[in-house]
Structure 1
Amino acid sequence: MNQPDRYQAGVRDVEFGARVKIVEPCNLYGCQIGDDCFIGPFTEIQKGVRIGARTRVQSHAFVCELVTIGDDCFIGHGVMFINDTFTTGGPARGRKELWRETKIGSRVSIGSNATIMPVRIADDVVIGAGSVVTKDLTVAGTYAGNPARRLGRR
């Protein structure tokens, strides 16, 4: 019988700011976490991710490579960031040149179970729970739905 390669969740090669709180188990590697952040349990934050000061990332969130999150943000439970848009009709299969980046402004709140495709989101945006963000959100306001649409000014 063959034995699988085993990897363990953990915290390694992370640049932490001051007064960061993390609740384990979580999988954080090669990322930057700003001052006064909170990272909930069962969260994965991959290499190259930058999270600004005073941002909260709740449990079960997945923040993939090529994501930058600003200051004073809230990332709800189960939020998923996506960097592979399946431009070839399927997964990139390790071809990182096919991945795309996501930039989240400051004071952005993302509701539980939202999915964020590779986009740019302006400052002062609220995204409703369960929303799917497929296009850049360039104007402050509240957005919800699949695909996410602007509901009103903030």
Structure 2
Amino acid sequence: MKPYNVYSSGIKDVNFGENVKIVEPVNLYGCFIGNDCFVGPFVEIQKRVNIGDRTKIQSHTFICELVDIGKDCFIGHGVMFINDLFSDGGPANGDQSKWRTTKIGNKVSIGSNSTILPVEICNNVVIGAGSVVTKDIIESGTYVGNPAVKIK
């Protein structure tokens, strides 16, 4: 017996809208990607994720389960979405009851290398590159920093 297991990445059980552009390699499974979307290389989108129409997701981004991204959004390079807050002091170890949801509104731009914890972000928001969003954003504007705060 081999001392390791090999799992193949790829595109499995994805519901695509029309005119979607994908640049491989990607790992997409059990998700929905709306009309006229773009997904760059080295992106992982897990099951139970919804991507709205005309949203663009740049390379090296990770979108975990329970994320809903609205229409006309831009997700920069290397953006990380988190669904486990380590509420018991460590990882949930697959206990999905400890995971939390993230909802991104329409016309939201998230700069490269940002980290998005389980939050809600309203419509018409810009998140600056490298920001860490730790709380809900309920007012349109531009947010930067760690933790992200409104600057205009």
3-state DSSP class of the match of 2:143?
strand
1:61 counterpart = 2:61 = yes
SS where residue 68 of structure 1 aligns?
strand
Once the two structures are superposed, what CA deviation does each residue of 1:14-59 show, in whole Å capped at 9, x if it has no partner? 0000000000000000000000000000000000000000000000
Q: Counterparts of 1:110-149 in structure 2 under 5 Å?
A: 110-149=110-149
In the TM superposition, what whole-angstrom CA distance separates every residue of 1:84-143 from its partner, at most 9, and x where no partner exists? Answer: 000000000000000000000000000000000000000000000000000000000000
TM superposition shift of 1:60:
0.2
What corresponds to 2:32 in structure 1? 32
Aligned to 2:97, the other structure's residue is in SS state helix
Could you list the structure 1 runs, at least 4 aligned residues long, displaced by more than 4 angstroms after superposition.
Answer: none
Is 2:72 aligned against 1:72?
yes
Paired residue secondary structure (1:97) = helix
Q: CA deviation at 1:72?
A: 0.1
Aligned-pair identity (%): 66
TM-score by length of 1: 0.98
1:93 corresponds in structure 2 to 93
Q: Distance in 1 between matches of 2:117 and 2:36?
A: 27
DSSP 3-state at the match of 1:42: coil
Aligned-residue CA RMSD (Å)? 0.7
Distance of 1:4 and 1:128 partners within structure 2: 40
Q: Does 1:16 align with 2:16?
A: yes
Q: Which residue of 2 aligns with 1:45?
A: 45
Give ranges in structure 2 of 5+ residues lacking alignment: none
Gaps of 5+ in 1: none
